[in-house]
A and B are shown apart, each in its own frame.
Chain A
């Protein structure tokens, strides 16, 4: 960080190579859009270039600091996009294609689980979504998540608990929906 604040391009390149995955993941899982996630990632590293001197090593880890900046930019982006009608996202769908095809049926079921989890995370209220993303998907510790979210560890714990509860409920509802739909179809055929 010291080298970046001094204008060292190699240091920035090294940091980007190691951490852009984390930043992109937080942005992508919070916004749900690849284009927005790329914009947020770029904004985060531009902010790092500008404000690297503000990083305090004793207060947070680099990942937590970057995730905090990503979270702030993602929130800003979400607020900005509230009034806009989104174009269809032409990014590659995350799903069955990326899963190894050793046991096709099992892999398909797993891919469906992951996709429904991704959708459920995106439908969570923002304050629960960000804590689920940071703690469960980004694997930050409670302390790091609290630093990134600028709140207390207790708040992180309670929001995570509430967020997981909401998430399980949504996932259960998604599991039940296809079954109910199938029953209707069968009833329609028998009538």
Chain B
């Protein structure tokens, strides 16, 4: 179809597209009836929307979103500060034992009161320790793990029978659980273990 044919076809199409006269007459009657009934009812003033109203509502919406984002980021920053207080600062990879020295004692860790947390809460001091207390001992299987950068210390009860597997000597005949601090790395995997002594408890 050429441009000329298009123009002719468009003109013909526009000419053909008409409302049937009967339908137009019925519609006109309905409209006039509606106008009469509107006049008999209470007059309603025509409200004109101010030019800036749409912009104002958009501005309010944008301001609300900005406030929510600011509040969320502030909240995350506060949480991050708290976490930083409990966790060693992120630093280049250092040996586990050096990093442990910079970690705060486990008492500052604020764990939620869940069942798991209850299991990890410090138990009352005992008079005798069946094992010889020591410093942090790197767990045997941590050699292939990524270098320790930061982490948390979690105190929990450990079966004495499992301590040899961690590389800790136990005295014979001990069959009850002992308390130990477990060093958890940035990836959530345990890196080292330290048995809790009375001295350690008294300093916390």
Give me the interface of A with B, judged by CB distance under 8 Å. 5, 7, 9, 12-13, 16-17, 20-21, 24-25, 28-29, 37-38, 41-42, 45-46, 49-51, 53-54, 92, 94, 98-99, 110, 113-114, 117-118, 121, 136-139, 164, 167-168, 171-172, 175
Contacts and interface: CB of A to CB of B under 8 A. Distances in A.
A17 B137 CA distance: 97
The 3 A-B residue pairs with the shortest CB-CB distance in the complex, in nearest-first order: A24-B19, A137-B14, A53-B46
Contacts of A118: 13
Interface in B1-43: 1, 5-10, 12-14, 16-20, 23-24, 27-28, 30-32, 34-36, 38-39
A49 B1 contact: no
A37 to B, nearest CB: 7
Contacts of A121: 13
Contacts of A24: 17-19, 24
Describe A's contact surface by its main secondary structure: helix
B13 to A, nearest CB: 5
Interface residues of B, number: 29
A136 B35 contact: no
Interface in B32-63: 32, 34-36, 38-39, 46, 48
Contacts of B18: 21, 24-25
B54 to A, nearest CB: 12
Contact of B10 (A54, A92, A137): A137
Interface of B: 1, 5-10, 12-14, 16-20, 23-24, 27-28, 30-32, 34-36, 38-39, 46, 48
B28 A17 contact: yes
A110 B10 CA distance: 11
Interface centre among B9, B24, B34 (most CB of A within 10 A): B9
Contacts of A42: 27, 30-31
Contacts of B17: 24-25, 28-29, 94, 137
Contacts of B10: 117, 136-137
Contact of B14 (A25, A99, A175): A25
Contact of A138 (B1, B14, B19, B38): B14
